[in-house]
């Protein structure tokens, strides 16, 4: 299918009028704040007191559970926002105000130990950043990160009171934006604040080109589909109100109310050549039809987050957190097939649901000595979800109750050249549905992280962790919908949690001009949730079950080199080999793939230039193997004074954005499709970043763990 060439312009304007440029702005559903990072808080459990950092250019130090990247003057001056500084870590891709990992793991972002978002970091100036901590595996105390990775941005000094921030980022020809505003005011020992963030998106030229073949009811259905252009829209809005009370230097209370809203609409229309072959007689008929999918969802979510922290001495600290969250959700999945104007099939699945959840968590930290720390924690959660699912005529009511309890402890320390962190957690997960009754599961989650430092420049590390992933509420209801005229998807009320075990061994070396970090990661998912196919009532039925076993090996090399002493030029390279194998449920598949990225950057006092190219690796998806679009850009920027930076550039792909997916040869379904958005091609980027600071220094709220409930209950 030929795509029309268009030219899109993107203008980004960031204005910060602030008294603490490192305060998080526009966080979604989680508290934000600052801490005095020059003091080691007991709750953090970090053992950064091994040695004083040796600042030779950009210093990178390796501890038992994380790498610490120190920013030098060149790093702070040459990047416009804190989000851009994450590019200093090989393996992190920053694209469209979002930070992701190239190896496919999830990435959680913290600011001074507090949960934040990529959009918030786009309002933070790099001048206030001291260092960035990168965790390949999140420590036991950060249970919300699961088996993903985590970055924690540490600021150079305590907070400054009073701030007003505004961030506007709009595309010129495509309705797309990322807007945020924040206001903070300090009144003696009390701080009040309000935040708003909005991300309206409308991408034209959205379509899916597809080949599909499957058996159902004694027939073989073969479809060749050409995507017809539609509009992909997504709107996200979030408002939060903060109240912070600091009685003295050792006590803090914070309350935050958040209201979030999201609506996503992604209709798909396809001109289809449909062939139906009778498997008994081998007779076939071919016709031209139009397939249309009309999918959308929306939810409204209020949340209340109350956090209390108390330091009893330099050695003891206690934090307690309470969170209440509600979701009001609506969704629709429709499939329609027409022969001209005549409808052949019309199927609509409507879901109307509500979910209420509460979380209580307590964390106690005890500093035994400067090099040895102990932490304990307890967490309990409970949720009640009710869903009404139907096709417009018949409605089914399903109630799902879940509860989770977790106890954990963690010990960290160092001796000689070794630093270590050992943690363990016992976790109980239970749920009850009308269809399947009560289910209870108990898990043991160990975590071992070990590092040996050879000298100031090199170290070797080993990590092992075990985590559990629980099914989402929407997967366990009674909803069903059509993917094709004979392909039905059903939810499963008897899904269980599954366990992920991963081990990593790596080596790190750095000096003033070179940083390298090769590592090998092996992980295994036991009892993984995967789609299973069956034939019922003349239909091909897809249902998720705990039938998968995933084994993956990843070998990666991240490096950064500064070849010239007097020229601020750097080259960042990240290369990875991925070998994944999934077995179980008659859907065995495997993939071997190479991927990576290369970035060349010039960081002058006034001028900066950056060129990047990324080739994603193939990975196993729900029913097949997927691969994203190759991505690249070039940008040139100039700094004017201390507060203003302007720039321009162009983003690849030049034709359209696309993601391809195909099933394995053994799959009951043969599918090859390419999703595309032609409006994303030839994007010209214009940027303007401005910031201004004022105010006085104040003490800020201590670190806290993230306890937001991100499961909306949608199917």
Please write the tens of the pLDDT for every residue from 27-57: 223 323 333 322 222 233 333 333 323 333 4
The region that residue 695 occupies, defined by phi over 0 for left and psi between -120 and 50 for alpha, beta otherwise, is left
3-state secondary structure of 416: coil
Strand ranges, E, within 116-175: 129-135, 149-155, 160-161, 163-171
More confident position, 266 or 585: 266
Q: What is the pLDDT of residue 647?
A: 82
Region of poorest pLDDT, from 21-35, 66-80, 523-537: 21-35
Question: Is residue 703 situated within a structural domain?
Answer: no
Give the DSSP per-residue string, 10-66. Answer: EEEEEEEEES-TTS--S-SSS------TTS--GGG---TTSS----SSS-EEE-SS-
Residue 653 lies in a domain: yes
Euclidean distance between CA atoms 692 and 494, whole angstroms:
55
Report phi then psi at 173, rounded to 5: -100, -20
In a domain, 709, yes or no: no
Lowest mean pLDDT among 47-56, 563-572, 618-627: 47-56
pLDDT at residue 492, as a whole number: 87
Phi, psi of 266 (to 5 degrees): -135, 75
- Separation between Cα atoms, residue 273 and residue 271, nearest integer Å: 7
**Which of 202-216, 330-344, 595-609, 646-660 has the lowest average pLDDT?**
646-660
Instruction: State the pLDDT at residue 661.
Output: 86
| Top mean-pLDDT range of 103-107, 148-152, 205-209, 385-389 | 205-209
Overall number of domains in the chain? 1
531, 523, 554: which is closest to 617 by C-alpha?
A: 554
Measured between alpha carbons, how far is 657 from 631 in angstroms, rounded to an integer?
9
When pLDDT is cut at 50, 70 and 90, the band that residue 521 belongs to is very high
Q: Is residue 70 part of a domain?
A: yes
Q: Report how far residue 455's alpha carbon sits from residue 142's, in angstroms, rounded to the nearest whole number.
A: 29
Q: What are phi and psi of 315, to 5 degrees?
A: -105, -20
Report yes or no on 119 lying in a domain: yes
Residue range 102-114: average pLDDT? 77
| CATH classification of the domain holding 190 | 2.40.170.20
Is residue 369 exposed (0-12), middle (13-18) or buried (19+ Cβ within 10 Å)?
exposed
Position 438 pLDDT exceeds 50: yes
Q: How confident is the model at residue 314 (pLDDT cuts 50, 70, 90)?
A: confident
507 within some domain:
yes
Report pLDDT digits (tens) over 231-282.
Answer: 889 999 989 888 888 776 678 888 889 999 999 999 999 999 999 999 999 9
Cα distance between residue 313 and residue 430, in whole Å: 38
Average pLDDT over residues 658-680: 83
Mean pLDDT of the chain: 80
Residue burial 40-73, b: 16+ Cβ < 10 Å; e: rest: bbbbbbbbbebeeeeeebbbbbbbbbbbbbbbee
CA 198/CA 485 separation, integer angstroms: 37
Classify the phi-psi angles of 91: left when phi > 0, otherwise alpha if psi is within -120 to 50, otherwise beta: left
- Does residue 14 form part of some domain? no
Specify if 417 maps to a domain.
yes
Q: Model pTM?
A: 0.77
What is the C-alpha to C-alpha distance for residues 425 and 444, in angstroms, rounded to an integer? 6
CA separation for the pair 660, 624 (Å, rounded): 10
| Number of Cα atoms under 13 Å in the Cβ half of residue 121 | 31
SS3 label, residue 94:
strand
pLDDT at position 389: 79
Weakest-pLDDT range from 7-21, 27-41, 387-401, 470-484:
27-41
For residue 290, the cross-strand partners are 271, 338
Q: How confident is the model at residue 209 (pLDDT cuts 50, 70, 90)?
A: very high
Residue 594 — pLDDT band, cuts 50, 70, 90? Answer: very high
pLDDT at 704: 45
**Averaged pLDDT, 449-453:** 90
> What confidence category does residue 21 fall into, taking pLDDT thresholds of 50, 70 and 90?
very low
Longest alpha-carbon distance in the chain? 85
Per-residue pLDDT at 667 exceeds 90:
no
Residues with Cβ within 8 Å of residue 25, at least 6 apart in sequence: 32, 119, 120, 123, 124, 165, 167, 180, 181, 182, 195, 197
pLDDT of residue 260: 92
- Domain span including residue 337: 19-230+241-278+288-697
């Amino acid at each position: 299918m030929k795509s029309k060439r268009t030219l899109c312009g993107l203008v980004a304007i960031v204005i910060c009028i602030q008294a603490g440029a490192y305060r998080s702005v526009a966080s979604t559903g989680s508290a934000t704040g600052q801490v005095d990072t020059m003091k080691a808080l007991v709750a953090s459990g970090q053992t950064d007191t091994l040695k004083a950092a040796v600042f030779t250019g950009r210093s990178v130090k390796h501890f038992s559970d994380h790498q610490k990247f120190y920013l030098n003057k060149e790093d702070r001056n040459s990047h416009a926002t804190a989000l851009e500084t994450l590019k200093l870590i090989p393996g992190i891709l920053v694209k469209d105000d979002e930070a992701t990992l190239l190896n496919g793991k999830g990435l959680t972002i913290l600011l001074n130990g507090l949960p934040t978002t990529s959009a918030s970091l786009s309002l933070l100036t790099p001048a206030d950043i001291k260092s960035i901590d990168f965790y390949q595996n999140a420590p036991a105390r950060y249970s919300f990160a699961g088996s993903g990775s985590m970055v924690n941005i540490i600021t150079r000094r305590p907070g400054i009171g009073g701030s007003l921030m505004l961030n506007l980022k709009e595309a010129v020809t495509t309705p797309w934006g990322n807007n945020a505003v924040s206001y903070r005011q300090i009144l003696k020992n009390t701080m009040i604040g309000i935040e708003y963030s909005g991300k309206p998106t409308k991408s034209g030229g959205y379509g899916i080109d597809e080949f599909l073949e499957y058996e159902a009811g004694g027939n073989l259905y073969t479809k060749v589909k050409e995507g017809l252009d539609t509009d992909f829209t997504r709107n996200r809005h979030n408002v939060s109100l903060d109240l912070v009370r600091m009685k003295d230097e050792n006590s803090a209370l914070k309350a935050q109310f958040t209201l979030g809203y999201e609506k996503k609409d992604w209709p798909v229309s396809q001109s289809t050549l449909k062939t139906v072959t009778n498997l008994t007689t081998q007779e076939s008929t071919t016709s031209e039809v139009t397939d249309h999918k009309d999918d959308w969802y929306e939810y409204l979510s209020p949340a209340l987050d109350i956090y209390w922290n108390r330091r009893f001495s330099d050695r003891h600290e206690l934090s307690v957190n309470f969170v209440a969250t509600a979701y009001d959700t609506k969704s629709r999945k429709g499939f329609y097939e027409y022969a001209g104007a005549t409808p052949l099939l019309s199927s609509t699945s409507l879901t109307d649901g509500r979910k209420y959840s509460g979380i209580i968590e307590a964390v106690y930290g005890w500093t035994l000595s400067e090099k040895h720390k102990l932490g304990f924690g307890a967490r309990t959660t409970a949720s009640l979800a009710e869903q009404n699912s139907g096709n417009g005529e018949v409605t089914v009511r399903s109630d799902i109750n879940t509860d989770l309890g977790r106890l954990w402890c963690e010990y960290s320390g160092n001796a000689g050249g070794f630093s270590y962190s050992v943690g363990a957690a016992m976790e109980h997960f239970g749920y009850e549905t009308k269809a399947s009754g009560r289910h209870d599961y108990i898990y043991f989650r160990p975590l071992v992280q070990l590092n040996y430092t050879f000298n100031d420049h090199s170290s070797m590390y080993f990590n092992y962790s075990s985590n559990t992933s629980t099914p989402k509420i929407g997967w366990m209801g009674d909803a069903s919908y059509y993917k094709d005229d004979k392909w039905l998807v059903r939810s499963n009320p008897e899904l269980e949690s599954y366990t992920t075990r991963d081990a990593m061994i790596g080596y790190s070396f750095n000096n003033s001009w070179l940083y390298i970090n090769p590592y090998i990661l092996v992980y295994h998912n036991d009892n993984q949730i995967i789609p299973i196919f069956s034939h019922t009532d003349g239909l091909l039925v897809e249902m998720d079950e705990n039938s998968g076993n995933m084994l993956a090996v990843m070998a990666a090399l991240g490096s950064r080199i500064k070849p010239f002493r007097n020229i601020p030029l750097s080259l960042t390279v990240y290369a990875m080999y991925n070998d994944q194998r999934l077995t179980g449920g008659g859907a065995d598949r495997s993939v071997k793939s190479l991927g990576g990225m290369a970035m060349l950057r010039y960081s002058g006092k006034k001028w900066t230039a950056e060129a990047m190219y990324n080739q994603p690796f193939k990975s196993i998806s729900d029913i097949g193997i997927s691969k994203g679009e190759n991505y690249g850009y070039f940008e040139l920027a100039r700094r004017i004074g201390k507060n203003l930076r302007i720039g321009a550039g162009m983003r690849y792909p030049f034709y359209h954005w696309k993601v391809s997916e195909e099933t394995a040869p053994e799959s009951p379904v043969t599918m090859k499709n390419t999703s595309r958005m032609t409006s994303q091609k030839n994007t010209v980027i214009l940027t303007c970043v401005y910031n201004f600071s004022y105010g006085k220094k104040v003490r800020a709220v201590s670190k806290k763990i993230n306890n937001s409930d991100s499961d909306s209950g949608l199917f």
